[in-house]
Amino acid sequence: MNNHLPMQDELTSTQNASSLGTYSIELRGATKRFLTPSGKVFTAIRDINMAVAPGEFVAVVGPTGSGKSTTLGLISGLEQPSEGSVKVMGKPVQGIDQRIGYVFQADAVFPWKNVLNNVATGPRFRGQPKAQALEHARDWIARVGLSGFEDRYPHQLSGGMRKRVALAQTFINKPQILLMDEPFSALDVQTRTMMEDELLQLWSSHSASVVFVTHDLEEAISLADRVCVITSGPGTVKGIYTIDLPRPRKVAEIRFEPRFIQLYHQIWEDLRDEVVISYERAKQKGAH
């Protein structure tokens, strides 16, 4: 229990967190171990301490295989921690919380539902009458710029359009906590920048707390209030950086700001070692 004390300091030092008292998300000493099929114990994340204030946008960066997705799994309630505690809105996570939205890395829109029904899925599952859910869905389809595509099936859309469906599907439920697992990693660079801008716009009119997992440091800095660097597996928090770039931000242009470049250098120093370790490990694995 003692080892939690330094974390407290770390938390209170972050800008708006101390003044608000309760965090939207709070992980204390969270550890997750899995049993591999061969019977070995695999530690995905170890002793993660992290807190997200209401309305705050936190990006989590780390090399591949550092347990970033596992962290989101713990917050969402899809997984339980092996040790430590995970709290959402001040209460320990028990099962899946309806206030949470989750945008997955892979395509997770339902291929057998058209765009309209895909977006209406959340309200329907949460018990809204069909007509109301569909009307609500039409509104959100318009907001993500997909009007006219209501009847299409996901396989008839481009990757960027499918991501928009996923965003609408998540935002329609008005989540207070938004978890995003490398949502744009499969998109081409131009589409990605556009989607990042759209995300910031949706978020700013919405004031949800966001945990945005990515391996792309540029993306992390352009979007987030704070960037949290995770070590290569088992993942644990290596450093937390406050991004003091002004909002509203234009993702495509902010990359040229001197302050952006300065922050990039600073965080990259931290991240580089982890990337190298992770790379060496992967190479060794390949050699065996």
Distance (Å, whole) CA 120 – CA 267: 40
Residue count at the site for another protein (CB under 8 A)? Answer: 26
Nearest approach in angstroms of CB 107 to another protein is: 7
Encoding tokens for residue 256? 């040229």
Q: How far is the CB of 10 from another protein (least distance, A)?
A: 29
Alpha carbon distances (Å) from 156 to 22, 108, 109, 159, 187:
44, 15, 13, 10, 16
CB neighbours of residue 276 within 10 Å? 12
We find the least distance from the C-beta atom of residue 238 to another protein, in angstroms, to be 27
Which is nearer to another protein, 168 or 220 (by Cβ)?
168
Does 169 engage in binding with another protein (CB under 8 A)?
yes
Residue labelled with tokens 């997200």: 52
Binding-site member from 14, 49, 71, 76 for another protein (CB under 8 A)? 76
Contact 75, 67 (CB under 8 A): no
Smallest gap, in angstroms, from Cβ of residue 124 to another protein? Answer: 8
User: Is the CB of residue 38 less than 8 Å from the CB of residue 4?
Assistant: no
The continuous run of DSSP H or E covering 70 comes out as helix 68-76
Which residues, 42 to 61, sit near another protein by CB under 8 A?
Answer: none
Q: Does 232 bind another protein (CB under 8 A)?
A: no
- Rounded to the nearest whole angstrom, what is the least distance from the CB of residue 102 to another protein in the complex? 4
**Rounded distance, CA 12 to CA 18, Å?**
5
The 99-138 contact track toward another protein, x by CB under 8 A, reads -xxx-x-xxxxxxxxx------xx--xx------------
Provide the minimum distance between the beta carbon of 149 and another protein in the complex, in angstroms, as a whole number.
Answer: 14
Collapsed DSSP state (helix, strand, coil) of residue 35? strand
d(CA 34, CA 42): 5
Determine which residue in the list 173, 176, 209, 236 makes contact with another protein, applying CB under 8 A.
Answer: 173
Query: Residues in the site for another protein, rule: CB under 8 A?
Result: 76, 78, 96, 98, 100-102, 104, 106-114, 121-122, 125-126, 153-155, 169, 173
